[in-house]
A and B are shown apart, each in its own frame.
Chain A
Amino acid sequence: MFNNEINMSVNIAGVEWKNPVTTASGTFGSGIEYSDFVDLNALGAVTTKGVSNVPWEGNQTPRIAETTSGMLNAIGLQNPGVDVFIERDLAFLKEFDTNIIVNVCGRTERDYCEVVEKLADNDVDMLEINISCPNVSEGGITFGQNCDSVESITKAVKKYAKQPIIMKLSPNVSNIGDIARAAEAGGADAVSLINTLTGSKIDIHRRKFELANKTGGLSGPAIKPIAIRMVYEVAKAVNIPIIGMGGIMNAEDAIEFILAGASAVAVGTANFTNQRATLEVIAGIYDYMKKYNVKDINELIGCVE
């Protein structure tokens, strides 16, 4: 299907991706359910849902609410824990010719390190450290909102990691460039952004919050302009690669991120609207390159000054 004269492969912190498209953590499970619809071999990488050291129950329901051109979620990082993950999900993913990025979450620095250590000798290509989930009371975003804690947790996980570390950044900060610099200073091999923006929605008829958690993370096309601006700012601030995300629904959106400075992109909420969104994004990037006679995708990365 793809012409060999067009290069879509990118190198993210020493890991070769066949194309620059992955999935945004939490929107694709571990790929098992989506493999009915998507040939996982076609993806540059699969990024899993957050994995913690022990099983997490997650938040009360309702956990989601739709908003105009977006959605709020407050799942609360429910997951079966790293041991089940390795035995079941990783075993499944290993059968595919794609990179595996495991998203790691925790309540304490020790929790993160425990998961990173357990994954160190497993067949995992990269680790994405979630210091930006807005839906848990401990851990998550609490590590991601000031430069010192970002640098220190990055250093801590780097001690145990045998794979390149991607720090996933929160947009709920006053200067994302500074946060990215702190991650780079701590030894991060890449950054991914943006996680969701904290938001809320009220049911005016019942006069109650729509989410049991009251607040949730806003995702979808509503947040894309913010994400583009932040990717651009981070690209100016650091020299490590950026995985861009936030409201990518189609190839045009993905290309915007790449032009703003992202070396790769993640498709998230769009998976809920269209199970095959990732594949359509890949095909659309290819068509764009063909149309504009771009031989190598790397020419496009950050080319908008």
Chain B
Amino acid sequence: MNNRRNVEIVDIKQLSSDVFSMWVKDEEIASNGKPGQFASLYCNNETRLLPRPISICEINKDEGLVRFVYRVVGKGTKEFSELKVSDRINILGPIGDGFNLEGKNVLVVGGGIGIPPLLELSKHLDGKKHIILGYRDEVFLDDEFKQYGDVYVSTEDGSSGTKGNVIDAIVANKLLEDNEIDMIFACGPTPMLRGLKDFANKNGIKAQISLEERMACGVGACLSCVCKTKEKDHHTHVHNTRICKEGPVFYANEVEI
């Protein structure tokens, strides 16, 4: 992996009350980044020591641009939300192992701030794509998915799409009955991923899920961001694996969530 770089912000927009979209100029990720990988974004404020792992939402290879869509959840992401065009930010990436592009008729399932990495994924998947996006209330990015597949929305408060969660939307829209689904791609909060893992198993469908955990080094050294595994991991030699290195995307049956 190449060294950390100080890159320029070329566009920043607010997508909802707490979700922001930022494009930066970075040839490295633009050339080498893959769907499902992420980057470490570093705060300019020196009292915040740790990078924030943010998934790659989109890549524009021709112009050397990378897009990050993130939710303000603390002081670090608040700082990122206040950046302006032509400000600079330190980044490291692309990091981790992303999605395997496979399946002829697939479900792409995102929940909340797990939705952004699925945008780049949807661009690259061949075959028929049913895209299910779950939100608490405010929706974002849903329009941008429409060019890549059929989009179904769920909201917990019922303000858009199916009232309930992503599985409710899959059921309500008869996506399994009407299609021969052969792969599920998912990113979102752990309870959603847990539900989808069960759902995939019950229906005999393979699933790739992207996990999140607090990270420190972002390069595989500190062992902060581990996840329990079914089998003994080849690197750690115990039943857990590094999300930043072997992940963040795993086959659902490889990990205990």
User: Are the CB atoms of A69 and B49 closer together than 8 Å?
Assistant: yes
Count A-B contacts at CB 8 Å: 109
User: Are the CB atoms of A27 and B50 closer together than 8 Å?
Assistant: no
**Could you tell me the distance between the alpha carbons of A35 and B1 in the complex, rounded to whole angstroms?**
10
**Could you tell me the distance between the alpha carbons of A269 and B51 in the complex, rounded to whole angstroms?**
12
User: Are the CB atoms of A75 and B219 closer together than 8 Å?
Assistant: no
Given A58-B226, A64-B214, A64-B224 in contact, is the A272-B240 Cβ separation under 8 Å?
Answer: no
With a cutoff of 8 Å between Cβ atoms, the chain A residues found around residue B221 in the complex are: 27-29, 32-34, 49, 271
Say yes or no for A237: interface residue by CB 8 A criterion: no
User: Are the CB atoms of B223 and A33 closer together than 8 Å?
Assistant: no
User: Are the CB atoms of A78 and B4 closer together than 8 Å?
Assistant: no
With a cutoff of 8 Å between Cβ atoms, the chain B residues found around residue A64 in the complex are: 50, 214-216, 222, 224
**A88 nearest CB across to chain B (Å):** 9
Say yes or no for B217: interface residue by CB 8 A criterion: yes
Interface locus among A102-110, A118-126, A273-281: A273-281
**Could you tell me the distance between the alpha carbons of A270 and B46 in the complex, rounded to whole angstroms?**
11
With a cutoff of 8 Å between Cβ atoms, the chain B residues found around residue A221 in the complex are: 49
Say yes or no for B203: interface residue by CB 8 A criterion: no
**Could you tell me the distance between the alpha carbons of A29 and B216 in the complex, rounded to whole angstroms?**
12
User: Are the CB atoms of A275 and B222 closer together than 8 Å?
Assistant: no
Say yes or no for B213: interface residue by CB 8 A criterion: yes
Q: Which of A61, A70, A75 has the most CB of B within 10 A?
A: A61
Given A29-B220, A57-B238, A63-B214 in contact, is the A273-B50 Cβ separation under 8 Å?
Answer: yes
Residue-wise interface mask of A (19-40) relative to B, using a CB-CB cutoff of 8 A (1 in contact, 0 not): 0000000111100111011000
Say yes or no for A284: interface residue by CB 8 A criterion: no
- Chain B contact patch, size range: 35 or more
Say yes or no for B124: interface residue by CB 8 A criterion: no
Given A61-B214, A62-B214 in contact, is the A275-B240 Cβ separation under 8 Å?
Answer: no
With a cutoff of 8 Å between Cβ atoms, the chain B residues found around residue A75 in the complex are: 222-224
User: Are the CB atoms of A78 and B236 closer together than 8 Å?
Assistant: yes
Say yes or no for B239: interface residue by CB 8 A criterion: yes
User: Are the CB atoms of B217 and A36 closer together than 8 Å?
Assistant: no
Residue-wise interface mask of B (1-13) relative to A, using a CB-CB cutoff of 8 A (1 in contact, 0 not): 1111000000000
**B132 nearest CB across to chain A (Å):** 27
**B193 nearest CB across to chain A (Å):** 15
Say yes or no for A91: interface residue by CB 8 A criterion: no
Given A33-B219, A61-B214, A63-B214 in contact, is the A78-B238 Cβ separation under 8 Å?
Answer: yes
Say yes or no for B152: interface residue by CB 8 A criterion: no
Name 11 interchain pairs, CB-CB below 8 A, sorted by A.
A27-B221, A33-B221, A34-B221, A36-B1, A37-B219, A61-B214, A61-B225, A66-B48, A66-B76, A68-B47, A272-B216
Given contact pairs A36-B2, A220-B49, a sample of 13 additional A-B residue pairs in the complex whose CB atoms are under 8 Å apart:
A32-B221, A33-B217, A37-B4, A55-B236, A61-B226, A63-B224, A64-B215, A71-B50, A221-B49, A271-B217, A272-B216, A273-B42, A275-B3
Chain A interface residues (CB < 8 Å from chain B) = 26-29, 32-34, 36-37, 49, 55-58, 61-66, 68-71, 73, 75, 78, 80-81, 84, 220-221, 269-276
Chain B interface residues (CB < 8 Å from chain A) = 1-4, 42, 46-51, 76, 92, 213-227, 235-240, 245
